Structure 1
Amino acid sequence: MNHKSINFVLSPSWRTDFLFAGASKNWLVHVGVVALTLLLILSAPESKDASGKAIIWFCTISVFSFSAVMLAKRYLSEKQKNPYELDSYTRHYAVLTAIIGTLWGLGAFIVAPLSNDLLMLYTLVVGGTALGAVSTQHVEQRVFLASIWTAIPLLALAHITHTVTNQNLAVAIMIVLYGVIITMLGKRMQAFLTKNAELSLSLADKVSNLTLTTAELERIRLIAENNSTAKSRLLAHISHDLRQPVHAIGLFAECLKDHATSQETRALLSQIEQSVISMSGLFRSLLDLTALENGRVRSLEIDFALDEVLGGIILQNQAAAQERGVTLRYVPNRLWVRTDPALLSTMVQNLVANAIKYAPGAKVLIGCRRQKGRISVEVHDTGPGFEPGDIDRVFEEFVRLTPVENTTVGGLGLGLSIVRKLSDILGLAVDASSKPPNGTVFRISGLVRAEAAAASREVDHQRIGSQLDGARIFVVDDDTATREGMRQLLQKWGCDVSVFAAPPDLEIARAADFLFVDRDLGPGVDGLAYASQTKQSLGVPAAIVTGSLSRDIEDGARAAGLTVLEKPARPAQVRSLLLTVLSGQTKPASAAAAAAADRVGTSNARSSAET
């Protein structure tokens, strides 16, 4: 079945469409066959007396054939205008084919008196015409039956009417049997075509349903993408609008420490600081998860000493461990590995913080192990642990198996899910084992060993701490609370501080030793562009401070040689940055810290570089 017939079967009037589709060409061919038959009759020597009848026969059958052509053309042009009149076309078509079939049968009576050989030849022509009728009209049973059984009986009768012999009788019987055979063939073809039509209609229905389903899935996908985009925008607004005041609160709390005269005031400031740290952690977890889901985290593999990263994490978590009554131990090593130190630091930091949070009063041990040419980092704790059946669940988002006893310790249950996602980026494996109540072991395995490099330079903070005295620091921020908090904090460290709500002229900025420039300084004011221009024109180092970090900001800052400081920034981060820059170092001292400063990654990775 060609593509046109496929289109026909998808229409309610597919049978009539199929019947009339090629009818015009078929009947024109039929007229040609009739004309050749006439020539065959007229060329016979015995046809002189029958020539007139033959010509009348030809003209009559040709008229009805052209009538069939006109009916087919009219149907094809009128079927869209009068869809309820379609069956009448089929009835008229059947009448025409019956008349034409009858004329073919009557023609045999014109040929039979002429010669037996001519009659046999005429019989072959009628047989071929009948077969052609079956092939073109089998879609409508009444039409092809009218064509066959008006011609076949008359043809058989013509064989036995003029001369009755056994041979003619046998031929007549064979003609009738031939009619029966081609009738069966026509019915089988009709059944086959009907089955194909039903399958095509069923397929069309399934394709329609599939199209609707695909459209619905596409709609759902677009909704999901829009929701994801909306979520990212919401988190960006949260990071900018909420982290701004949290950033200022942390700065003010640090400034008030020197003015606290009573134990009660110092305890209150400590609680404020702890709350700021907790809220900052929540922001970082949410934004880290969003960055990972959006594919914004990229790894930068370098060779570095594993002890640099792990040792820094121990120092970072000492205060939190003491507050929770946790004994934090670390087994130093001289191993070098090749991976992204910032992302690895984030993974280990999350594991250590998780152990401290959920195992109060326990012992936590961090160490390394060699396994088949690779290195694994393990975090052991003697806390309550969890059931082995919950191992996969602990790596899911927003899952917290054990309630936190201390209400001052928050969290969303994202730390371990971030560890798993980062391990996929680095091509590492993360697993856990636990035997309640004997503690838990988390393991990061698959680290590739690297050759040890020359000893890295270290920053002596005690020796260079005095360099902050008199340092000229410019703070450019449109938020009043943030400007005031930074001013008080930097003055506490002995800096000469100037604050600006809008970018100062380059001639004024020339006097600065360092600039802290907020990324968002109001409509039409780009802090990154200003800091880049200052660095390029004056050579003044600067840090971009932002509450809505993005890949574009990080790429732009790195291209301009600027540092990115994400809000809420802890005072220790600000002090470490100033000491590093003002000591004459343009890069952090260690390879691991350098990678953390240069890479595009998550906020936890950057915060883990504190010292």
Structure 2
Amino acid sequence: MSQGGGPPAAATDPPPPDPTGSVPMTRPGLDTPDDLQARLIISESPKSLLLGIGSGWLIVAALVHGNTSPEFLMRAGAWGGLLTVVLLRGIWLATRCGPTASAALRRRTLSRLQVNGVFSALAWGLSSSVMLPAGDLQHEAILILGIPLITMGGAMGRAVHAPIIAWLVLLTSAVFAIGLMTTPGATYRFLGVGYLFFGTVVTLFTRAQANAVRRERELNLEIEKLLRTAEQEQRKAQQLFERAEEARAQAESAREMEARAHAAKTRFLAAASHDLRQPMHSISLLLGVLQSRLQAPEQLALADKIQSSVATMESLFGNLLDISKLDAGAVQARLDDVPLAWLLHRVEQTWAPQAADKGLRLRVRPCRAVVRADAALLERMVGNLVANAIRYTQRGGVLVGCRPRGDRLALEVWDSGPGIEPRHLDAIFEEFFRIEAPGSRAEKGLGLGLSIVQRCAQLSGQQLGVASRVGRGSMFRLVMPRAAGMQSLPAAFAGPVAAASAAAALRGRFIVVVDDEALNAQALVDALQACEAHVVAAASCDEALSSLQAHLRVPDLIVTDYQLEDGRDGLEVVQRLREHYDEAIAALVVTANTDARLAPLAAGLQAGLLHKPIGLQRLLAAMASALSSPG
């Protein structure tokens, strides 16, 4: 139903115009939503009123087709004539107010159209009183269904422009319903009551629609004001164009610098495993040599304290580096077949001395299973779990073992520590979260170990779990898929050798040391000579082959750093020396590189792989183990 009294848009009506599209938003003089509303209503009223006249006479024609009695023809014609007069008056009012009319004239015209709309609503509503009954139910249905459709269409199409439409719809519905209810017959009364409910619902809907569109229109007008301000500032913007171009170039340069900085950070973190761990490895070796030369008890006690501090520093440094690499996305899991016998042997060799220093027993149950994992990440995770168990356990011990779970395998670390309260079971995996360990104040860490374990487990696709009882201890579990193959331990790791017997196992042995770090090489040479071993040290494979020309004896063991000068590596050293002597010489490769691809490459050469930093006693024990393994 139009504001000027025309009908609502029926099924044959075109879609209502966009409330912001029929009149350009940048037209001068549109200062308020009311001005825009008046312009839209007046401009659209003639068309909608003409459609209303056509719709009304279409209903009359349909009803006359079913009832041609003179009395009905008079009633139908009178109603059609009344509707036409009212709607033509609305057209006349709207066309008098042209596009150039003043705002005051538009407001007066709008007010007159609203009054005319009241008469239009009454005319539409009186159709039931004037033309019912119409002869038969089939033709009456045209009126009973047509008027609601026209009312609803007009309400939805025109209420966005004129909120008063909602009240006109209610007026039409009420008058039409009264006509139905006063028509003889229970069916008409029932339809009249239903039409009242229908009209009420449409009225509420159109009011809500009108309010929403009005708010949108106000926002559009506010946007128009901003656009006007922008137009006024356009000349200033033109003057600042060159400065904006310069700022854009600077921003582009800053983005490029940021990208380069991110790439450099990633490269640094990737290289830090070698370049930053190397000094730590040197300190460990030199401290081991120093301890072997000290005799006085007080000096040995001081050296032991230094060794403990170095071990703590290695752990803190390693955790910080690992968490930084994980945060930067510089760590990628490379899954491979990993023999757990090799891993468990390294765990026992690394952590048994520290457990013994605290009066604890570290038990590692052997397992010959092979799992699908990233070797470096798995070793780091298990190492952190064992270190954490030792730190928090004061009496008893730590147990590391495996349990089969179908096609998967669970690696578990048990301790007899104080246990973890249930409220902390989630928080322990957060960065820098620590639970005070009784009696461990001298061994405080950063609270990163378990956070690293969780991130590495997620990166590797493994399940991490924990169970604990306060006062009894805790159990951490890593669940990973099993893999086929590699059912036996590599020869270089046939079994652990006690540190006390390492010197005896090395006595009289001929060992080749290849390391381009002179400090590390000399520290290892001094330690081996203290064990009465024969040593040839070199910075490269070529230098080693040259020095070995003066010896008739075949070396018993090759100990080489992995990353050497000129892009060479320790695996190449092992291959060339073995080919030179045509013998499978035992070999150990020491590296700060955590690339998971190194483990299977070393295993393929039957060579042991040790990760820096590694203490001197551990290194000597590994050398003794390699020498005791069957070749």
Please say if 1:354 is aligned against 2:393: no
Displacement after TM superposition at 1:454 (Å): 4.9
Q: Among 125, 143, 151, which residue is 2:106 paired with?
A: 143
Structure 1 pair 552–430 and aligned structure 2 pair: CA distance change class (3 A):
closer
Displacement after TM superposition at 1:419 (Å): 1.9
Q: Among 560, 570, 582, which residue is 2:615 paired with?
A: 570
Q: Could you say which residue in structure 2 is the equivalent of 1:8? A: 25
Please tell me whether the aligned partners of residues 9 and 15 of structure 1 are also in contact (alpha carbons under 8 angstroms): no
Displacement after TM superposition at 1:259 (Å): 1.7
Q: Among 372, 394, 416, which residue is 2:450 paired with?
A: 416
Displacement after TM superposition at 1:485 (Å): 4.3
What amino acid sits opposite 1:196 in the alignment? V
Instruction: Please give the alpha-carbon distance, in whole angstroms, between the structure 2 residues aligned to 1:133 and 1:325.
Output: 106
Please tell me whether the aligned partners of residues 137 and 144 of structure 1 are also in contact (alpha carbons under 8 angstroms): no
Please say if 1:405 is aligned against 2:439: yes
Q: Could you say which residue in structure 2 is the equivalent of 1:471? A: 512
Q: Could you say which residue in structure 2 is the equivalent of 1:392? A: 426
Instruction: Please give the alpha-carbon distance, in whole angstroms, between the structure 1 residues aligned to 2:513 and 2:341.
Output: 35
Where does 1:91-490 land on structure 2 (aligned, <5 Å)? 128=91, 130-131=93-94, 142-143=105-106, 145-146=108-109, 188=164, 196-199=213-216, 201=218, 243=277, 245-371=279-405, 374-403=408-437, 405-444=439-478, 446-451=479-484, 453-459=486-492, 469=510, 471=512, 473=514, 475-477=515-517, 485=523, 488=526
Displacement after TM superposition at 1:418 (Å): 1.8
Displacement after TM superposition at 1:335 (Å): 3.7
SS in 2 for 1:437: coil
Instruction: Please give the alpha-carbon distance, in whole angstroms, between the structure 2 residues aligned to 1:486 and 1:466.
Output: 14
- Please give the TM-score of this superposition, normalised by the length of structure 2: 0.51
Structure 1 pair 19–576 and aligned structure 2 pair: CA distance change class (3 A):
farther
Structure 1 pair 201–372 and aligned structure 2 pair: CA distance change class (3 A):
farther
1:443-494 Cα shifts (integer Å, max 9, x gaps): 22x3334446553441279899589736263x434xx866764664576564
Instruction: Please give the alpha-carbon distance, in whole angstroms, between the structure 1 residues aligned to 2:265 and 2:330.
Output: 15
- Structure 1 segments unaligned to the other structure (5+ residues): 31-120, 154-180, 207-223, 520-526, 590-611
Give the alignment's Cα RMSD to 1 decimal: 6.1
Instruction: Please give the alpha-carbon distance, in whole angstroms, between the structure 2 residues aligned to 1:123 and 1:436.
Output: 89
Q: Could you say which residue in structure 1 is the equivalent of 2:170? A: none
Q: Could you say which residue in structure 2 is the equivalent of 1:162? A: none
SS in 1 for 2:446: coil
Where does 1:564-603 land on structure 2 (aligned, <5 Å)? 568-571=613-616
Instruction: Please give the alpha-carbon distance, in whole angstroms, between the structure 2 residues aligned to 1:340 and 1:518.
Output: 19
SS in 2 for 1:325: coil
Please tell me whether the aligned partners of residues 366 and 378 of structure 1 are also in contact (alpha carbons under 8 angstroms): yes
Displacement after TM superposition at 1:323 (Å): 0.8
SS in 1 for 2:431: coil
Please tell me whether the aligned partners of residues 491 and 629 of structure 2 are also in contact (alpha carbons under 8 angstroms): no
Instruction: Please give the alpha-carbon distance, in whole angstroms, between the structure 2 residues aligned to 1:378 and 1:544.
Output: 28
Where does 1:525-536 land on structure 2 (aligned, <5 Å)? 530-531=567-568
SS in 2 for 1:299: coil
Instruction: Please give the alpha-carbon distance, in whole angstroms, between the structure 1 residues aligned to 2:491 and 2:98.
Output: 94
Percentage of matched positions with identical amino acids: 25
Please tell me whether the aligned partners of residues 277 and 612 of structure 2 are also in contact (alpha carbons under 8 angstroms): yes
Instruction: Please give the alpha-carbon distance, in whole angstroms, between the structure 2 residues aligned to 1:189 and 1:134.
Output: 21
Structure 1 pair 141–540 and aligned structure 2 pair: CA distance change class (3 A):
farther
- Please give the TM-score of this superposition, normalised by the length of structure 1: 0.52
- Structure 2 segments unaligned to the other structure (5+ residues): 1-16, 48-83, 117-153, 167-206, 224-257, 549-557, 579-586
Range moving further from structure 2, 388-397 or 487-496: 487-496
Number of equivalent positions: 432
Q: Could you say which residue in structure 2 is the equivalent of 1:113? A: none
Q: Could you say which residue in structure 1 is the equivalent of 2:140? A: none
SS in 2 for 1:300: coil
SS in 1 for 2:465: strand
Instruction: Please give the alpha-carbon distance, in whole angstroms, between the structure 1 residues aligned to 2:370 and 2:485.
Output: 6
Please tell me whether the aligned partners of residues 428 and 447 of structure 1 are also in contact (alpha carbons under 8 angstroms): yes
Q: Could you say which residue in structure 2 is the equivalent of 1:34? A: none
What amino acid sits opposite 2:108 in the alignment? L
Please tell me whether the aligned partners of residues 245 and 482 of structure 1 are also in contact (alpha carbons under 8 angstroms): no
SS in 1 for 2:286: helix
Structure 1 pair 200–310 and aligned structure 2 pair: CA distance change class (3 A):
farther
Q: Could you say which residue in structure 1 is the equivalent of 2:175? A: none
What amino acid sits opposite 1:458 in the alignment? A
Structure 1 pair 451–252 and aligned structure 2 pair: CA distance change class (3 A):
closer
What amino acid sits opposite 1:376 in the alignment? A
Instruction: Please give the alpha-carbon distance, in whole angstroms, between the structure 1 residues aligned to 2:594 and 2:96.
Output: 75
Instruction: Please give the alpha-carbon distance, in whole angstroms, between the structure 1 residues aligned to 2:19 and 2:434.
Output: 61
Displacement after TM superposition at 1:285 (Å): 1.0
What amino acid sits opposite 1:497 in the alignment? A
Instruction: Please give the alpha-carbon distance, in whole angstroms, between the structure 2 residues aligned to 1:515 and 1:329.
Output: 29
Structure 1 pair 279–131 and aligned structure 2 pair: CA distance change class (3 A):
same
Range moving further from structure 2, 313-322 or 428-437: 428-437
SS in 2 for 1:8: coil
Please tell me whether the aligned partners of residues 278 and 612 of structure 2 are also in contact (alpha carbons under 8 angstroms): yes
Structure 1 pair 337–491 and aligned structure 2 pair: CA distance change class (3 A):
same
SS in 2 for 1:495: strand
Please tell me whether the aligned partners of residues 376 and 594 of structure 2 are also in contact (alpha carbons under 8 angstroms): no
SS in 2 for 1:296: coil
Range moving further from structure 2, 311-320 or 226-235: 226-235
Structure 1 pair 342–22 and aligned structure 2 pair: CA distance change class (3 A):
same
Instruction: Please give the alpha-carbon distance, in whole angstroms, between the structure 1 residues aligned to 2:447 and 2:214.
Output: 58
Range moving further from structure 2, 253-262 or 134-143: 134-143
Structure 1 pair 240–427 and aligned structure 2 pair: CA distance change class (3 A):
closer
What amino acid sits opposite 2:454 in the alignment? R
1:237-283 Cα shifts (integer Å, max 9, x gaps): 99789755433322211222332222332332222222212111111
Instruction: Please give the alpha-carbon distance, in whole angstroms, between the structure 1 residues aligned to 2:218 and 2:110.
Output: 29
Please tell me whether the aligned partners of residues 517 and 544 of structure 1 are also in contact (alpha carbons under 8 angstroms): yes
What amino acid sits opposite 2:615 in the alignment? R
